[in-house]
Amino acid sequence: MARPGRPRMPKAPLPGTVEAFLDMLIAERGAALNTRHAYERDLADVCAFLKKQSKDINSASTGDLKAYLAELGERVNVKSKGGGKTAVRTIARRISALRQFFGFLVSEGTRSDDPTSTIESPKQTRTLPKILSEDEVTVLITTAQKQGGPESVRLVSLLEILYATGLRVSELVGLPLASIGPEGRYLTVEGKGGRERMAPLSEPAQRAMKAYMDVRTRFLIPDRVDAQSKWLFPSRTSESGHLTRQRFAQLLKELSRNAGLDPGRVSPHVLRHAFATHLLRHGADLRSVQKMLGHADIATTQIYTQVVGDQMKSAVETKHPLSVINES
């Protein structure tokens, strides 16, 4: 969103084939709007590079795309002071977007060849999810409770719901009021691809949401009630009518500082990771966690078993009586 008082910068128009591809992602593959925006940003960057070379993405050759990826690599390396994993992930994601776009052109008969067919993705090492300990999550929630006022009540509700359900942040802030189940015991969530799932709420989350509902009207503007009233977490300032991902992340950073935690370690996604890891540590089965997270593939959920395994190994090595005996 443009800063107050500053005009919004117009977007450069994208080729019709790119727009058609982006529309297809939603219409045929059921992609989320955020996914569409991500592909749009990626392909717009490619188009901007090719335009400087007086070339068009529809007729781009393998050499053109390799030149773009080389330039992208230099940009990312400079921006991230050496690149590393950040550069590898960025380039791999951009290649994936290009492959899907040119695959779409071939399937539509716009092109007979795929210029990405001989382009290899950089090898990525899968990093383990960053999480918070159970004590650190408790400190965050306790600190939020102490702040007082409607903002505090809302923040506690957001934290409790996120930690009880493991929702993606876009799912959390975009919850409609109608998602609340009978007696507030669960939420009906529409995830990626339009797949619905039920997210049960813990007792602390139920209590926090009930307390928030008593002050929810404080976040509505009288002349915009119609646009805002359908959201569980309405906002007085956002264009969407509900709290934004960016604002919630900002609130978390501020809260983490007040709680004495490193803000760099705290984010909505880190709390989602904590939810999954803590469940597995307490004996939940992998399939149940998969369903609650809304993962289409259980392989995505399995990464959390490695986090739990590494932590248990560390605990045995540092806390188990036998480790002390062996050292003596």
Query: Do 91 and 186 belong together in one domain?
Result: no
In a domain, 48, yes or no: yes
Last residue of a domain, one of 209, 231, 265: 265
What was the pLDDT predicted at 80?
Answer: 56
Query: Do 159 and 103 belong together in one domain?
Result: no
In a domain, 291, yes or no: no
Last residue of a domain, one of 209, 230, 265: 265
Query: Do 66 and 142 belong together in one domain?
Result: no
What was the pLDDT predicted at 78?
Answer: 67
> The domain spanning residue 193 has which CATH number?
1.10.443.10
In a domain, 37, yes or no: yes
What was the pLDDT predicted at 226?
Answer: 56
List the Cα angle 66/125/263 in 5-degree steps: 105
Query: Do 30 and 78 belong together in one domain?
Result: yes
Q: What is the 3-state secondary structure (H, E, C) of 128-187?
A: CCCCCCHHHHHHHHHHHHHHCCHHHHHHHHHHHHHHHHCCCHHHHHCCEHHHECHHHCEE
What was the pLDDT predicted at 228?
Answer: 58
What was the pLDDT predicted at 312?
Answer: 41
Place of tokens 């717009």: 44
What was the pLDDT predicted at 4?
Answer: 42
What was the pLDDT predicted at 299?
Answer: 73
Query: Do 249 and 192 belong together in one domain?
Result: yes
In a domain, 128, yes or no: no
Query: Do 198 and 238 belong together in one domain?
Result: yes
Query: Do 87 and 21 belong together in one domain?
Result: yes
Query: Do 155 and 261 belong together in one domain?
Result: yes
Query: Do 101 and 154 belong together in one domain?
Result: no
In a domain, 301, yes or no: no
C-alpha to C-alpha distance for 57 and 46, rounded to whole angstroms:
7
Among 159, 129, 145, smallest CA distance to 308 is for 129
Work out the widest C-alpha separation in the chain, in whole angstroms. Answer: 73
C-alpha to C-alpha distance for 176 and 187, rounded to whole angstroms:
10
In a domain, 94, yes or no: yes
- pLDDT, tens digit only, all 328 positions of the chain: 444 443 444 567 899 999 999 999 888 877 778 889 999 999 999 999 999 999 999 999 999 999 999 999 888 876 655 555 667 888 888 999 999 999 999 999 999 999 999 998 877 655 656 778 899 999 999 999 998 899 999 999 999 999 999 898 999 999 999 999 988 899 998 877 777 888 999 999 999 999 999 999 888 876 655 555 789 999 888 888 899 999 999 999 999 999 999 999 999 989 988 888 888 888 887 888 888 888 777 777 777 776 665 554 443 333 333 333 333 3
Last residue of a domain, one of 239, 265, 291: 265
- What amino acid occupies position 153? V
Can you give the residue range of the structural domain that contains 96?
16-107
pTM of the predicted model, to two decimals?
0.61
Query: Do 158 and 89 belong together in one domain?
Result: no
Please identify every residue annotated as catalytic: 168, 192, 269, 272, 295, 304
In a domain, 247, yes or no: yes
Query: Do 260 and 221 belong together in one domain?
Result: yes
Query: Do 63 and 165 belong together in one domain?
Result: no
In a domain, 286, yes or no: no
Total domains in the chain come to: 2
